[in-house]
Every structure is written in C-alpha cells, then in structure tokens.
Structure 1
C-alpha cells in the first residue's frame, strides 16, 4: 500500500492506493490520530510534504510506515494540476510515492533539529530586537531628536530612559526600551545555551578551529548543513548553500554570472561574515592569500563571496575527514 498525506496544521487528508494504482481509501484525519491510521497500514510507504509541522508527524508515522518527505519546491515542478484541493494533492503524493518519483527532502536528526531551533530562535529574537530599535529611531526622528542614539547599547538605553517626550510618545518609548531590554536578556540567555551545545559536539569543535568561526557561527553552519555524509562531495555542498556560480551556455558562448543563492541564506550569510573576519581581522594566511589575489582584479564583494566558497570547501573536507583546520601551504 502507498499513502499520500497532505498535511495541515490540525488535520491531514490521506489517500491510500494499492500496488496496481487503485484508490483504496480516502479519509480526513486529525493529526493527533494519524498513528492509528499508520498502525492499520503498518509496513506501507507514505509520502508527506516538508511543511512547518512535519517533524512530529514524520517521527510518529515512522514507527509504523516507511516515510518519504517530499521537497515542496521540487514537487510543484513535477506535480502539475489544474485542480488544487486537499484530496487531489493527497492522491498525487500517493501516486508519486508508488512510482518512486518523490523529490525527497532532507530529514534532520534530533541533534541537528535542536541546533537549528537554538540558532534560528536566536536569529528571530535578534530580528525582533532590531525591529524595536528601528521603532525607537522613528520615534526620535518624529520629534526632531538628531543625536546618534544606539538603543541596543546600555548607554543608549540610559539616554532614552532620561529623555522627556510628550504623552503618549513617552509611554511608547518606555515600552520599546523595555522590550529591547527583555529581548537582550533572552538573547544572552540563549547564547549561553548555544555556546554549551557548540562545545559539546565534535563537528562544531572542529569548526571552531577555523579563525573567525565562533561558537554561534559553528553551530549555525552545523545546524544548516546537517550530517555531512549526505553530500556526495564539496561541489554538492557548495550548490546546496547557493555559493555556486550560475553558468549559462548558448552555442559557443559560456557566461559565468553571480552565485545561485539557492538553499540556506542563513549559512551563506554566516559564511561570508566568518570569511570577512578571517581575512581582515584574524589575517588567516590561506584565505587572505586567495582573497588578495581575487580582490586585485575583482570587487571586494565578489572576492569575499568567492573566498567564502573556498572556506566552505575546506569545511566540507574537515567534517568529512574529521580533521581540524589545517589548510595547505600554511606554516603552523
């Protein structure tokens, strides 16, 4: 039997087909009751999409079924339909899994999920704090206050606390500053947990031997890449991160453009930041030499992105071989 399961927040539409492709059952089930359905079809193969809530459903179903997780973006390319309903989607998933044609998505381990939750949670808190800092700047601008105030600094917040604005803007300013202080405390608390987890994993310990890679950077790279064994080589990991150049060919012409920017923007951003620190602050001999050679004939931005790609290749081989950072041609 083959099950196509179209997941939603609280329920799932399920289609079951047999080996001949005939529809056996269609049913709408609460997500909390999916394990009952899975037990009835124990040993069957099921397909679900990688939605925001698929981790728990995947783990529940995997106790009884062989579960395949579909990549939503790639699935759209091969599952064209003029009629878009839950029932149609569920049947389409069931048919594709029967034909072994599901474009699979990576299912991270429990350890990787924990790391992702921490670094992505921190990122969300930082984004929220930045949003309120911008609200403070807007409020000051409305009242003609031109001082260069930094709401994220202790000194900046002390200045804001002493500032006198007319009502109701004074209340708004107090609220914004309080929220920034609360978020700052939560970020600092989360960073302690991130540092502890980064220090406990062999992968992140290896990554932290790279100049410019901190515990947060290391855990972000680990969380977004997942197990390194899932990649067939450094080219695949570079493509996954979106640091591969876009190449267009037409006849005898070949044009190499900017990077593809596919995949995780988080790890791409953190790699560029780490590379910048390694080159300009830590003066890493291996990366600096490569960067200087490119920067002499390209823009500094293109040079730093290309150097980040080189760093990612090194990271792949470090994790694959379980070796510390020891680039060739650099005296230790």
Structure 2
C-alpha cells in the first residue's frame, strides 16, 4: 500500500488530499500556507503511516514559483519524515497536471485540484524531483535579481534616448562616446539648457566636461565641438515641453546610475557566493564563460543529479524540439518548445554566443548551422549552438572536470 499526498498551493492556503493506492480518499483539508499548515500535513502523514504501514509515500505539488518553495523545502527536509526512509517530495510541471486534469469533465476548484494532483501521483508517471540545495537557491536569488535589473537598465536607457531625441535630436548620432557615461548623463540632465551650452565659449564647455569627467576625456575640445555642433543642428522645443523633457531626462539619469550601482553590488555578492559552489569552476573553465554566466547556469540547474541525462536537462532549458511522426511519415518541421526555464535558456544562449567567439569548435559548428538555411540564420544557429553547449555543461558538471579543448575540430555535433 502506498500513500499519495496532493497539495494545491496558493499564496495563502494549502488544499491537501490524502489518497492511497487503492484510490481511497483518506482525508481532504484546507490549511494555511505557513509552517503550521505544513506541520499539520507532516503529522497527518506520520499518523496515516502508523496506521497503515505504507511501503512508499509521495508528496507532490505543482511548481508555483515562490509559493511552493517553502512547503516543498519543509516537507523534504523534515527529520521525522526523512527517518521513515520512504517519503519522496516531488514538484511537477503545472502543464503536466493541467493536461491530466483535462481528461476529466468536472468543475474546477481547489479541493478538486488537490485530488487530481494526488491522483496524478497515484498513476506514478510523475517526474522524479531533487530539490535544490540552499547554496543554489541563494545564488539563484542573486543571479535572477541581476537579470531583472539588467533588463530594467536596458529599458531605462531606451526611454532616456527617446526623450534625448526630443531635446537634441542629432546628439546621439554625432557623439563618438556613450551618452550613458556619468559625465554625459550629468550634463544632459543638468540645469543647463541647450541654448546656454551653445552660447558657452568652447574652452569653457571643454573645461566643464573635464571637471565633470574628472579628467577622463582624452580630447575635451573635440567633444565640446561635437556637442556644440549637435546643438546648432537640432530643433528647439518650447519652454513648457523643454521643462518636461529635462525633468524626465533627470529622472532616468538617476535611475540609470542607481541601477548600474546596484548591478555592481549584486555582482560582488555573486562572485563571493560563486567561490563556495565548487562545480561552478568547471563551467568557468570554458573560454568565453565568465562568472556571471557560469553562476546563472549553475544556479538554475542546481545539483546535476536532479536530471537523469543531458536530454532531460535540455528539456528543462527549453532547448528541445518535439518530433512529429506517424506511420512512415516524419515531419521535417520540428519547432522549438516554449516550455522550460526561461532564465536558464537565456544564460545558455548568451553563453553560447560568447563561446563561439573564443572556441573554434563552437565557432565552426555555429557557422555550419548558419549556412544551412536562408532565413533566421543567426537565431537558429545560436539556439542549436546552445543545445550543443548543454551536452558540454552536463558532462563537466556530472564528472566534476574542467574544460579541455578538442584536439581536432569536427563539424559534427
């Protein structure tokens, strides 16, 4: 006899169904999603086991982002449940549960969802799950926060450029330096108007640039000339619009500077934590993968033992193509699946793009795939190169070894 515990998780509550292998519902209960609710589930599991002496106990729930983290971790690490030696806590892809529920024509509610999760576990077609250790979760919090801030920074820069075009529409084309440097951000969002900068003597503007740039500009006179020319060639705004644009530019300038600082602080913490995740050094040994990419990949994968093979890891990355075959027919169109871990896919693709610039094997493989099709050349070649990288990552992490370049370069994957 086996016990299957299905938990439908939300931010505030846990709907729980206890189902045995003979399809008998032992108990259905709604509990708060806190340590008291999780403790109550544990006590029920221990009590049922004492009464029926189960040969196996499976506790399962859907992966619901942050909401399933605490109950899953609590139940998998509880010492009393561990001492039984037969409790398995699994986290399932919500799509798998949803497809299973679709087989039954019935109303949807939380109680029924918990029952169907338990019923799905009962047929024992669920994926084995090894929950991430604490160090990987800690690293993941940092790398995901950096990922979000980098995207916020990109968006802020886009809005800054949009408003800069209103203020001085030729400036970004004329400059040979970034408008996002601290000096340029300060100058463009300062109290000085375009007319005031245009009326300044060239030497005075050059001195102002040197003062704000702390002497970092190699040719401040040339930069001052470029700015004055851009101002002369640009349209002028009315006073009301000019004041609004200046306010917006100043706001985005502060946001950009703040985000840059926060990203640097996060990267310092990532580097510090990176040192205690020993297998991450295996990935850092690959040419083109720095600490940020290596940390991001390892944080999302966790222990490589969570995956039975590299094909399962590729599916988790979302670098997986479904086959479409029936009888003697097999479709040549195999679209990339859109499931999987979006963060891991991002790091794999970005890492592959960097590696191909440093490693001949990946450069030649990328070029081969690039030349195979007339459309979407770069995108297709890069995704296929990322899929090739999955095999390397799996091997290095599983064998705890450093990367060694291939002696002879082959175009075969």
Matching residue of 1:21: 23
Q: Using a 3 Å threshold, how does the CA distance of structure 1 residues 151 and 72 change in structure 2: closer, same or farther? A: farther
Q: How far apart, CA to CA, are the structure 1 residues paired with 2:269 and 2:301? A: 20
**What is the correspondence of 1:104-183 to structure 2 with a 5 Å cutoff?**
107-143=131-167, 145-148=169-172, 152-162=180-190, 164=193, 166-183=242-259
Structure 1 residue 230: Cα displacement? 2.8
Structure 1 residue 247: Cα displacement? 3.5
| Pair 1:55-2:69 in alignment | yes
TM-score by length of 2: 0.71
1:283-309 CA distance string (max 9 Å, x none): x23223333444444434433333332
Q: How far apart, CA to CA, are the structure 2 residues paired with 1:35 and 1:265? A: 29
SS at match of 2:285: coil
Of 226, 229, 240, 2:316 maps to 240
Structure 1 residue 229: Cα displacement? 2.2
Structure 1 residue 225: Cα displacement? 2.0
Matching residue of 1:325: 403
Of 271, 294, 302, 1:218 maps to 294
Of 45, 62, 75, 2:97 maps to 75
TM-score by length of 1: 0.86
Q: How far apart, CA to CA, are the structure 2 residues paired with 1:39 and 1:276? A: 47
Structure 1 residue 320: Cα displacement? 1.5
Q: How far apart, CA to CA, are the structure 1 residues paired with 2:379 and 2:73? A: 42
Of 305, 311, 320, 2:389 maps to 311
SS at match of 1:157: helix
Matching residue of 1:268: 345
Contact 1:245 1:256 in 2 (8 A): no
Matching residue of 2:9: 7
SS at match of 2:356: helix
Larger mean CA deviation between 137-146 and 127-136 belongs to: 137-146
Structure 1 residue 105: Cα displacement? 5.3
Larger mean CA deviation between 110-119 and 250-259 belongs to: 250-259
Larger Rg over CA atoms = 2
Q: Using a 3 Å threshold, how does the CA distance of structure 1 residues 12 and 219 change in structure 2: closer, same or farther? A: same
Contact 2:167 2:245 in 1 (8 A): no
Contact 1:272 1:308 in 2 (8 A): yes
RMSD, aligned α-carbons: 2.8
Q: Using a 3 Å threshold, how does the CA distance of structure 1 residues 256 and 98 change in structure 2: closer, same or farther? A: closer
Structure 1 residue 242: Cα displacement? 2.8
Structure 1 residue 207: Cα displacement? 0.6
Structure 1 residue 22: Cα displacement? 3.5
Contact 2:90 2:130 in 1 (8 A): no
Larger mean CA deviation between 217-226 and 242-251 belongs to: 242-251
Matching residue of 2:209: none
Contact 1:198 1:219 in 2 (8 A): yes
User: How many residue pairs end up in the alignment?
Assistant: 329
